[in-house]
């Protein structure tokens, strides 16, 4: 171990690390492109040489090479349950966007601010001294606001004290649900492509992941395949509607089919609904509102997408008391409580009039049109997106080998960032033709990105 005493500190000189290329960023230590040539994303050993630039840059000085003494760098260490995961694709893409001055239509965070009345409520709460630890499962006012909003949205009346747990973003709600309700070896069904925290968190819980692929153009649920995968050994189905990255929304028929299977095999549902207020083409349906489903469902949500405040990380899990017990036990030992003043502001946000939500949808519909029309004009096949602020396209008309190569080209030669979708599959081969763009950017940014793509990529048909 390198000591960090002041004398040894002076001798240590940080090495200038050569920046890795995009391809290297997504490669394992043998230089094999992630999931493309290798076919599988699973990498048995991640050695120091295969870590991403971001990880290397984040190393404290004392952990870097002492070149004056010619000592070897210490290999990074990580528990086995996490060693196959790399720096998230969003971190990698955002760093590359900065490096190449590219317009970032990759990571899903707005480049505009959240509403003034919510920010004011946070400032007021801080000034009013609401700055000490909150009650573990949420400040009472937010628990009530979540319950009220859920009743307006679904018609379900829930007890804010016994059935709502406030968490640090939906990411923590997902983690608390999985860690609180899943035992090692339990089977959990997910729909690929899926949000990247699902696989990592299920791995931390020791779950057995069963993946069902939603395929373009409609990304419909293959009900017969689902029937063959859901058995008495299944503990839970982890689903997401409206769905990141495809924009698919689960239809009532699909939700009913899932419900029947859950009832038949006594399966739980964890339903991630963070984009519920970004539903454009159809009404959002919470699976918890279907007959018999509330008792077996944990509904997960957060403030970030709906109020353009992704950095606040206020989320929640709604579930009947017998499931809430497990969620709260995990939450108690993950974070215990979430930022107090932000919870007070979140309560104010959730009491926004309906006109707020209507305006949000109207604004996003206009942004979506700019991006979708632009992508189509450039020559992409754009798949229909009913909800979220994402669209998925087929990049193959441009002749690139795969989604990673395409995104590399797009950043370096065109100056636009998109996300390769292969990272959202257990078998990355399944996503190699698809890339995801986001339209959670101001209209000028979206227009500029379209102009860049038209200038550099317009297909001569
Ligand atoms: C499907 C999905 N679930 C959960 C999250 C995380 O939400 P939060 O920022 O509230 O943790 C995201 C964020 O992108 C998401 O896309």
pLDDT, position 63: 41
pLDDT at 281 over 70: yes
For strands 268-272 and 297-302, give the pairing. parallel
Q: Write out the residue range of the structural domain in which residue 394 sits.
A: 89-113+355-457
pLDDT tens string 95-130: 888 889 999 999 899 999 999 999 999 999 999 999
Ligand 1, atom nearest to 173 Cα: 11
Domain finish residue from 314, 330, 351: 351
* CATH number of the domain where residue 244 is located: 3.40.640.10
Nearest to 360 by CA among 275, 282, 436: 275
Residues 233-247: tens digit of each pLDDT: 999 999 999 999 999
Residues 6+ apart with CB under 8 A from 268: 181, 235, 236, 237, 262, 296, 297, 298, 323
| Position in ligand 1 atom list of the atom nearest CA 315 | 10
How would residue 296 be classed by pLDDT, with cut points 50, 70 and 90?
A: very high
87: pLDDT strictly greater than 50: yes
**How many angstroms is it from 8 CA to the middle of ligand 1?**
42
Cα 177 to averaged position of ligand 1 atoms, centre (Å): 14
- Residue 64, pLDDT score: 43
Residues near 307 by beta carbon (within 8 Å), at least 6 away in sequence? 114, 115, 118, 349
Mutate which of 171, 177, 238 for ligand 1 pocket (most atoms within 8 A of beta carbon): 171
Q: Where are the alpha helices (DSSP H) in 164-315?
A: 169-181, 196-205, 223-229, 252-265
Q: Give the ligand 1 atom nearest the CA of 313.
A: 10
Q: What's the pLDDT tens digit per position in 382-418?
A: 999 999 999 999 999 999 999 999 999 999 999 999 9
Q: Is the CB of 34 under 6 A from ligand 1?
A: no
Asked whether residue 331 falls in the same domain as residue 374, the answer is no
Between CA 147 and CA 137 the distance in angstroms is: 13
Give the model's pLDDT for residue 167. 98
276 C-beta closer than 6 A to ligand 1: no
* Whether 334 contacts 175, CB under 8 Å: yes
Global pTM value = 0.86
Averaged pLDDT score across all residues of the chain:
87
pLDDT of 65 > 60? The answer is no
Give the C-alpha distances (Å, rounded to integers) separating 88 from 24, 26, 94, 136, 253: 14, 10, 10, 29, 34
Q: Is the CB of 301 under 6 A from ligand 1?
A: no
Q: What are the counts of helices (DSSP H) followed by strands (DSSP E) for the chain?
A: 16, 13
**Which of 308, 330, 351 is the endpoint of a domain?**
351
Crossing angle of helices 354-378 and 443-457, in 10° steps, is 10
Q: Verify whether ligand 1 is closer than 6 Å to residue 107 (CB atom).
A: no
Count CB atoms within 10 A of the CB of residue 371: 25
Are residues 346 and 226 part of one domain? yes
| Same domain flag for 290 and 191 | yes
Nearest ligand 1 atom to the CA of 171 is 11
Regarding the beta carbon of 425 and ligand 1, being less than 6 Å apart is answered no
- Flag whether 59 is in a domain: yes
Write down the pLDDT at residue 247.
98
**273 Cα–ligand 1 center, Å:** 9
Can you give the CATH number for the domain in which 94 is found? Answer: 3.90.1150.10
pLDDT at 345 over 90: yes
- 304 close to ligand 1 (CB < 6 Angstrom): yes
């Amino acid at each position: 171990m390198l000591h960090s005493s002041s004398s040894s500190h002076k001798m240590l000189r940080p090495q200038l690390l050569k920046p890795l290329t995009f391809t290297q960023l997504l490669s394992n230590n043998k230089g094999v492109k992630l999931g493309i040539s290798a076919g599988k994303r699973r990498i048995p050993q991640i050695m120091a040489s295969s870590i991403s630039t971001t990880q290397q840059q984040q190393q404290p000085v004392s952990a870097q090479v002492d070149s004056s003494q010619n000592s070897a760098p210490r290999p990074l260490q990580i528990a086995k349950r996490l060693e196959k995961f790399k720096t998230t694709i969003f971190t990698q893409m955002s760093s590359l966007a900065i490096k190449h001055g590219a317009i970032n239509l990759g990571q899903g965070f707005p480049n505009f601010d959240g509403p003034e009345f919510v920010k004011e409520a946070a400032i007021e709460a801080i000034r009013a001294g609401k700055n000490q630890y909150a009650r573990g499962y949420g400040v009472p006012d937010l628990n009530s606001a979540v319950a009220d909003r859920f009743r307006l949205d679904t018609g379900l009346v829930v007890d804010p004290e016994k059935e709502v747990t406030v968490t640090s973003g939906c990411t923590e709600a997902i983690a608390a649900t999985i860690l609180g309700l899943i035992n090692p070896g339990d089977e959990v069904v997910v729909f690929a492509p899926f949000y990247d925290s699902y696989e990592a968190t299920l791995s931390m819980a020791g779950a057995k992941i069963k993946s069902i692929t939603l395929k373009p153009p409609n990304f419909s649920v293959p009900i017969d395949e689902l029937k063959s995968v859901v058995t008495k050994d299944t503990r839970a189905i982890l689903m997401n509607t409206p769905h990141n990255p495809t924009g698919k929304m689960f239809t009532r028929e699909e939700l009913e089919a899932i419900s029947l299977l859950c009832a038949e095999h006594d399966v739980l549902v964890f339903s991630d609904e963070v984009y519920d207020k970004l539903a454009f083409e159809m009404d959002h349906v919470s699976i918890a509102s279907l007959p018999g489903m509330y008792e077996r469902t944990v509904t997960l949500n957060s403030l970030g997408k709906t109020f353009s405040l992704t950095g606040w990380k206020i989320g929640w899990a709604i579930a009947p008391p017998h499931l809430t017990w497990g969620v709260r036990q995990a939450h108690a030992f993950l974070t215990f409580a979430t930022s107090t003043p932000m919870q007070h502001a979140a309560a104010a946000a959730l009491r926004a009039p309906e006109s707020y939500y209507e305006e949000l949808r109207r604004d996003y519909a206009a942004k979506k049109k700019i991006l979708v029309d632009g992508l189509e004009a450039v020559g992409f096949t754009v798949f229909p997106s009913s909800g979220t602020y994402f669209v998925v396209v087929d990049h193959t008309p441009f002749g690139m080998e795969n989604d990673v190569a395409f995104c590399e080209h797009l950043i370096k030669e065109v100056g636009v960032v998109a996300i390769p979708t292969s990272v959202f599959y257990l078998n990355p081969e399944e996503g190699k033709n698809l890339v995801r763009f986001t339209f959670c950017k101001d209209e000028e940014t979206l227009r500029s990105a379209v102009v860049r793509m038209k200038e550099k990529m317009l297909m001569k048909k």
